[in-house]
Amino acid sequence: MIEIRKREDCRMKKFALACRVGQRSIERTRQRFIEEGFQIAAGGKKRTVFKEKKFDGRVEASLIALRCQSPPAGVQAWTLRLLAEQLIELRIVEKISLR
């Protein structure tokens, strides 16, 4: 029995390396297959709980456009804090949390 387990571990390690995933991922997928079937193991479950979006498309587009611009003078690169401050300063949003 121990020898069988060693061979199985060796096969799973090789498979994990070939797939470029961790051995634990292989084990979880295998367990999901056993418990829930092929469709769930291969494609995952449909999410039933979604977080409500904080930004609409207009705010997202403004954020992306802002990020694509050069940062303000004296700043080497955009930071999340700087982007948030700019969105508020440009009155695109009233407030924004960095969390």
User: Residue 71: what pLDDT?
Assistant: 92
DSSP state letter for 92:
S
Inter-CA distances, 62 with 43, 55, 59, Å: 34, 10, 5
Q: Where are the domains of the chain?
A: 2-43, 51-99
pTM of the model as a whole: 0.47
pLDDT tens per residue across span 7-24: 777 887 887 888 888 888
pLDDT in tens, 37-54: 998 888 888 877 777 777
Cβ-Cβ contacts under 8 Å for 75 (sequence gap 6 or more) = 82
Q: What is the DSSP letter of 21?
A: S
Q: How confident is the model at residue 68 (pLDDT cuts 50, 70, 90)?
A: very high
Other C-beta atoms closer than 10 Å to the C-beta of 49 total 4
CB-neighbour burial class of residue 74 (10 A; exposed 0-12, middle 13-18, buried 19+): exposed
